Amino acid sequence: MKIKLFTVLMGALVITGAFAAVANAQQKKQSAAYTIEVGGSTSVTPLMERFAKAYESVRSNVRVNINGTGSGDGINNTGKLYQIGMSSRDLTPVEQGSGYREVTIAIDGIAVIVNTGNPVGNLTVEQIRSIYTGEITDWGKVPGSSRTGRIAVVSREAGSGTRGAFEEIVGFQNKLVAGANESTSTGAIIATIAGNPDAIGYISLGSVNNTVKALAIGGVEASSANVVNGTYKIARPFIVLTGSNVHAESTAFVDWMLGSAGQAIVKEGNWIPVKQ
């Protein structure tokens, strides 16, 4: 009789344990109830990755999935593939008419970069324009340069927010020199410049690392402080977009980016906060 009672009790415990395991699994599933799909600018992506890591640590029921696909894709697929789109350029009038909510989350300088072995440390906007349009093709033709060699021009691909902003600010829209290396990401440009002493490119100021050298522009150092005080002129907004069908969790995430925690992350990453 004792053996039968023991068997019954053990069976009950197993069943109870099974039900508890199922309930626990369901609870965990419910606790991670929503994934925010984010896509667009590869320049905004490093900042968004920092946002996501910090936000997930305080909102355990939310996951942020980030797709670095370019500003054009982020704008066009806001409210479709993505709850939140990312753009590193201002929207065109047509895009502005699409009913998006636009929020500037940071200001970013665009750094013109060369190989660390290149002795050139400063260029004017006019010289940069001449290099990117093919008027200057050799480092020996750059005033003040002690280097010679054909300049390897590196740009972002068509549709890139960084490219659109850079061409507009420097003043050579649709005049990129034939044969330029058109890279599809910030990382690809950094790798190309780091591996080619004759190359020149441009990336987000916040993405500059010690494998490349950022040039001064017109004698002004490429720094966050100089973007803020207005002396460094090559700068643009980092924008996030939401559509009319945005989920409440996505709206809360965007609002958090503009709060003190989000803007502190902007500042830590060498970008410019939009709110102090």
**What does the pLDDT look like over 136-175, one tens digit per residue?**
999 999 987 888 999 999 999 998 889 999 998 999 999 9
Q: Which fold has domain 33-107+238-273?
A: D-Maltodextrin-Binding Protein; domain 2 (3.40.190)
Q: Which residue has the tokens 């099974």?
A: 18
What the block records as the tokens of 114 is 């060369």
State residue 22's pLDDT score: 45
Q: What superfamily in CATH does domain 109-235 come from?
A: Periplasmic binding protein-like II (3.40.190.10)
What's the whole-model pTM score?
0.72
Cα–Cα distance for residue pair 98/88, rounded to 1 Å: 18
What the block records as the tokens of 218 is 């017109």
Cβ neighbours for 177, distance < 8 A, ≥ 6 positions apart? 131, 132, 133, 134, 137, 153
State residue 4's pLDDT score: 52
Average pLDDT in the 172-191 region?
Answer: 95
CATH 3.40.190.10 residue ranges for the chain: 33-107+238-273, 109-235
- 1 or 259, higher pLDDT: 259
